[in-house]
A and B are shown apart, each in its own frame.
Chain A
Amino acid sequence: MTTPLLSLRGLTKAYPGVVANDDVSLEIGRGEIHALLGENGAGKSTLVKMIYGLVKPDNGTMEFNGASFAPQDPRTARVGGVGMVFQHFSLFDALTVAENIALGMENAPAMGQLAARIREVSESYGLPLSPDRIVGDLSAGEQQRVEIIRCLLQDPKLLIMDEPTSVLTPQEVSILFETLNKLRSEGTAILYISHKLEEIRTLCDAATILRLGKVVGNCIPAETTARDMAEMMVGTTLKTPQRSGATAGEVILEINKLFLPPASAFGMPLREVSLSLRKGEILGIGGVAGNGQDELLGALSGEIQAGHGMITYKGQDMTGKGPNARREIGLLSAPEERLGHAAAPDMSLIENAMLTGAVREGLVKAGILNWSAARLFADRIINVFDVRTPSAGNAARSLSGGNLQKFVIGREVLQHPDVFIVNQPTWGVDASAAAAIRQALLDLAKSGAALIVISQDLDELMEISDHFGALNEGRLSQLRPAVGLTVEEIGLMMGGAHDEETMHG
């Protein structure tokens, strides 16, 4: 039996109040693509940070290539043969690809030489990159290539990838997989962190499942169903939301050639976005982050003012109407950023309930705030949506991501909106909270409200949408019924006019 490339035994790491990793052991062989599965908070990030030298374990040992392995910092880990591509890129938008890569290297060769190396490596792995392009002009998929090339230039034996496909279109995902397969055939091992079960089943040889810091199982993804893997991750049986299939009513919201100039130099404009939304309908808008989602939500919530006639709700032009004027007539929204935008982090849940609920729930009269009524409203949200918190008086930042998201969405849903627009409803949320949120959205539509759900999670959109469109570079694609859409068609809608080149066969 060949010695494994990486062997972790009994790794433990504790932080105040939580044990992030509890006696975790796993083995990765040479040329193996190994998945690390788990919900948010399961301990995946902490584990790989220990392998990459960012965090020191409290207990346990690591062996790399048969020798003891305890990197003091990422540099040592890289020298030892471990490379890592993070979920959030560390790139400078204003510099070129070559300059960015040079910044991350110990002894960067001369620019000309480096550029040639970049071209060579990127082409041989099917991720063509031009070293002179400015990173700020690249798509997220191309930016990820820069990160990958940066790792590959240092000849890693183990490549760790943290949620690599969360920013990619379906076409870009298949290109990435071809690259990873090529690396595997050369003997490089890959530790692949993801919660996308179907992808793991396609790509990975073996999987380790973490829950609450402990290893709860190992499996061979190709031989296990996605449902079984999900249940191992969550530990309880999953509730799948139901598509209601009700027929849609009259048009309640119309957006007509919505145009917004970009908010800053690297910002995204909105160009000629048009759509019609009917009562009882769920419109899913997909698209990789940064293509105008925040701007669209801002224009609809009233935070950004659009021009005359661009947004018409219940027959009224929304120009000049701010967020509270729109709340009064039933147009509610929930932005993507939980802490800082949807909720004030240092304020209590009662105060956050007052923040958007004041108008529709009668929490304010003649300017005087009714705090006991706000407390009752907050308690109602906490009960109905099973928000785990010691009390409504706790600060928003003390809640876990999933619980805060349940609160933020529950707060709007309980106000009985006629139109509800939500941006990334289940991003960073554990599976059971995500299912509860999706069911709440479906129930809202069933009661006659119209919804626009903006999300990067295509599976989620396909599950709950009646119609689907994609945002790309500030433009909204043609809207199509969700039934019968193929992954390829969606990818093309999301990618806009992107021409994906690949050097493989």
Chain B
Amino acid sequence: MIKFEKRPQPSQIFSLATPLLAVMATMIFGGLLFAVLGKDPVQSIVTIFWEPLFGEFAFYYRPQLLIKGAPLVLIAIGLALGFKAGVWNIGAEGQYIMGAIFGAGVGLAFYPTESAFIFPLMILAGAFGGWLWATIPAVLKIKFGTNEILVSLMLVYVAEQFLASMSLGLLKNPDGFGFPGSRNLQQYSSAYNADIIAGTGMHWGVVAAFIAVIFAYVLLTRHSLGFAIRVTGEAPRAARFGGVNPSRLILFCLGTSGLLAGLAGMFEVAGPAGQITIDFNVGYGFTAIIVAFLGRLHPIGISLAGLLMALTYIGGDIAQSQLQLPAAAIQVFQGMLLFFLLAFDLLTNYRVRFGSKEVTP
């Protein structure tokens, strides 16, 4: 008989080991999944994990790691601050979109003027757009007690409609021959989020992600606001007793995660994506949720998890083209990571005991 016994102290060892165990389990079960689909499991796993880093075209794929990883890490950091406090921002995708629209909108408003002030203004606009979109669920939660999961998620669909409207309307490229989509920002040098060191994939979004990781680490370990976040998540009554103002905390957590998601959106549209189109968003806002938990809601963990997820995206793309693996299979794979992580997390707080020690008299 298997029994679960609560540990007197959460286990440090398992806290660190769980992500590794989850990755290994995902590889095994993912491999099984691919085998069922008729593909060689070992070949598939190697394609996904090994090829992008050390394969033939690795010089092309490695910068992609930063390009795909940066928005994931940037958004996940913001989400983690909220999740730690029990504030569930599921609408980062919508905040990402709004940040992109606001940022691109400000940039395009200056076209064709060239100036060093445009890019910083775009950054501010992108941050504001994301912040605004996340403050809506925050205010509704504070004033009416609505569930931020539902509101933030529903606002994603609103944002997507808004994006389509902008692509077809206000932001449509007048020189675009009638096709939907904005001007390409990669050709507008004041607004282009170029690689800082050419060819490495390290654009300003990567720098922002890096700063965000450090900022979050310092906030959580050394600042009273970070402490308030941690206590609210672990023991809400104790947090109230300790003087935490729940409304202000909700505003901060949702606002900050929206701000960071908006920044990610802005850096993406001004850089790798290049233009506002109807389907410019690729789901980073949702994948960032997995990244946040895979990284144990810890800034350093998130930076590693972001790179890992980026790896599965890129490897997944390669597997799609080389092995004809369906795109949905990759998404199942990413979901499995989160599933196994949450399952193995049980071991941090509970010990497994086998067999029965009881003796009947």
Residues of A bordering B, CB below 8 Å: 16, 56-62, 68, 70, 301-303, 322-325, 327, 335, 337, 340-347, 351, 354-356, 358-359, 364, 367-369, 371, 394-395, 397-398
Contact = CB atoms under 8 A, between A and B. Distances in A.
Contacts of B243: 302, 322-325, 327, 359
Interface string B1-33: 000010011100000000000000000000000
A394 B9 contact: yes
Contact of A395 (B9, B223, B361): B9
B198 to A, nearest CB: 39
B240 A303 contact: yes
A454 to B, nearest CB: 16
Interface string B211-240: 000000000001111010011001101111
Contacts of B234: 344-347
B241 interface: yes
B359 A56 contact: yes
Contacts of A58: 357-359
B224 A364 contact: yes
A61 B361 contact: yes
A346 B245 contact: no
15 contacts: A58-B359, A68-B361, A303-B241, A322-B243, A322-B245, A323-B240, A323-B242, A324-B242, A327-B243, A344-B234, A354-B227, A355-B242, A367-B224, A395-B9, A395-B10
Nearest to B357: A58
A163 to B, nearest CB: 24
B8 A344 contact: no
Contacts of A57: 359, 361
A56 B235 contact: no
B242 A16 contact: no
Contacts of B238: 340-344, 355
B360 interface: yes
A397 B8 contact: yes
Contacts of B353: 16
Query: Most chain-A CB neighbours within 10 Å: which of B237, B241, B361?
Result: B241
Interface string B293-317: 0000000000000000000000000
Nearest to B218: A368
A469 B300 CA distance: 55
A340 B360 contact: no
A310 to B, nearest CB: 19
Contacts of A356: 241-242
B231 A369 contact: no
B225 A367 contact: yes
A373 to B, nearest CB: 13
B249 to A, nearest CB: 13
Nearest to A364: B224
B235 A345 contact: yes
B359 A59 contact: yes
A358 B224 contact: yes
Contacts of B361: 56-57, 59-62, 68, 70
B231 A344 contact: yes
Contacts of B239: 344
A440 to B, nearest CB: 20
Contact of A337 (B225, B227, B237): B237
A395 B348 CA distance: 14
Contacts of A397: 8-9
Nearest to B238: A344
Nearest to A358: B224
Interface in B336-361: 353, 357-361
Nearest to B8: A398
Contacts of A303: 240-241
Given A57-B361, A341-B235, 9 more contacts: A58-B357, A341-B238, A344-B238, A345-B235, A346-B10, A351-B231, A355-B242, A367-B224, A368-B224
A398 B9 CA distance: 6
Nearest to A393: B9
A356 B234 CA distance: 16
A56 B231 contact: no
B214 to A, nearest CB: 15
B10 A56 contact: no
Nearest to B358: A56
Interface in B46-100: none
A347 B9 CA distance: 9
B224 A341 contact: no
A337 B237 CA distance: 10
Contact of B223 (A302, A343, A344, A368): A368
A58 B235 CA distance: 37
A397 B224 CA distance: 23
A430 B222 CA distance: 37
Contacts of A347: 230-231, 234-235
A346 B238 CA distance: 11
Contacts of B5: 16
A323 B359 contact: no
Nearest to A302: B243
A357 to B, nearest CB: 10
Query: Most chain-A CB neighbours within 10 Å: which of B227, B353, B361?
Result: B361
A341 B241 contact: yes
A327 B230 CA distance: 21
A60 B361 CA distance: 7
B8 A395 contact: yes
Interface string B133-157: 0000000000000000000000000
B237 to A, nearest CB: 4
A367 B228 CA distance: 11
B59 to A, nearest CB: 44
A355 B357 CA distance: 41
A353 to B, nearest CB: 11
Given A322-B245, A394-B9, A70 B360 contact: yes
Contacts of A364: 224
Query: Most chain-A CB neighbours within 10 Å: which of B222, B225, B227?
Result: B227
Contacts of A340: 235, 237-238
A66 B71 CA distance: 75
A301 B227 contact: no
Contacts of A394: 9
Contacts of A371: 222
Complex A-B, nearest 9 residue pairs according to Cβ-Cβ distance, in ascending order: A324-B243, A344-B235, A323-B243, A398-B8, A355-B242, A341-B237, A56-B358, A344-B238, A395-B9
B9 A369 contact: no
A29 B222 CA distance: 64
Contacts of B358: 56, 58
A356 B353 CA distance: 38
Nearest to B235: A344
B8 to A, nearest CB: 4
A395 B15 CA distance: 15
B8 A369 contact: no
Nearest to A341: B237
Nearest to A335: B241
Nearest to A333: B241
A341 B239 CA distance: 8
Nearest to A323: B243
Contacts of A323: 240-243
Nearest to A70: B361
A403 to B, nearest CB: 13
B92 to A, nearest CB: 26
A274 B357 CA distance: 57
Contacts of B9: 394-395, 397-398
A59 B359 CA distance: 7
B352 to A, nearest CB: 12
A325 B243 CA distance: 8
A60 B358 CA distance: 12
Interface string B194-223: 000000000000000000000000000011
